[in-house]
Amino acid sequence: MIEFKDVCMRFDDKEALKHISLTIQDGETLAVIGGSGSGKSTFLRLLIGLIKPTSGQILIDGQNIVPMSEAELNKVRLKMGMVFQYSALFDSMTVGENVAFGLREHTKLSDADIKEIVREKLHLVGLDGVENMMPNELSGGMKKRVSLARAIAVEPSIICYDEPSSGLDPLMTEKIDELIINTQKALSVTSIVVTHDMASACRISDRIAMIYEGELIAIDTVERFKKIQDARVQAFFRTLRTVKTEKEDKI
């Protein structure tokens, strides 16, 4: 279980997050939505321990990660995987080496076993036979999928996705959404998806949380979230309807 207790984050004179409190249950998929600069990426970076909050507590399986040293945090991070917005694949390594990275660092598995796991994880994300390719030879969608394969290779219990659909065409976005759903089903992981894509959020998540100018203004199941009468939430749904209409017009 993940808990945020009254978390605030301030960068110089800008308050990026204001008194965020929420709980994410094991096996749940939570989509965190919000506009650009609303603080949703900061939320994710706090969760993974890349930055420390100005105040408040972040509990992962009951452990407060805020006062932890980097070495202590590394033990908690072994439970986590992350898919970065721009994939963040190691560009000096092949796809296979990228996916195998965590296994080589944290397990004593033999080369043959690692190779097999890499092949299996790449197959799971729909990429076969790309082990020897370099990241710069892949398309944006393929990079995202390799990034997901790398994240799940060490079998984490929590996976964080930072804008998984950004920069992808609608078809690829749907494929990535399917992958997120399938990964969640296959591995029963807790997923936190930060996105500004409302359609994606509705498709993949059990609950949606909305951050607006650093404040958590709404959090609820998808169906109930759609009925929230807050103007800021409705504004986000209007964009969804506009996108849908545009798609239908094109068809």
SS (H, E, C) the chain: CEEEEEEEEEECCEEEEEEEEEEECCCCEEEEECCCCCCHHHHHHHHCCCCCCCEEEEEECCEECCCCCHHHHHHHHCCEEEEECCECCCCCCCHHHHHHHHHHHHCCCCHHHHHHHHHHHHHHCCCCCCCCCCHHHCCHHHHHHHHHHHHHHCCCCEEEEECCCCCCCHHHHHHHHHHHHHHHHHHCCEEEEEECCHHHHHHHCCEEEEEECCEEEEEEEHHHHHCCCCHHHHHHHHHHHHHHHHHHHHC
Which range in 70-78, 114-122, 169-177, 193-201 contacts other proteins by CB under 8 A?
A: 70-78
Part in contact with other proteins (CB under 8 A); list of ranges 10-18, 44-52, 119-127, 188-196: 44-52
Residue span 140-179 as binding mask against other proteins, x where in contact by CB under 8 A, dash where not: --------------x-------------------------
Smallest separation, CB 224 to other proteins (Å): 32
Would you say 40 or 77 has its CB closer to other proteins? 77
Smallest separation (angstroms) from other proteins to the CB of 67: 17
Contacts to other proteins from residues 4-43, by CB under 8 A:
none
**In terms of CB distance, is 154 or 233 closer to other proteins?**
154
Q: Does 138 bind other proteins (CB under 8 A)?
A: no
Exactly one of 82, 117, 127, 216 binds other proteins (CB under 8 A); that residue is 82
Within residues 83-112, the interface with other proteins by CB under 8 A covers 84-86, 88-91, 101-102, 105-106
What residues make contact with other proteins under the rule CB under 8 A? Answer: 48-50, 70-71, 74-75, 77-78, 80-82, 84-86, 88-91, 101-102, 105-106, 154
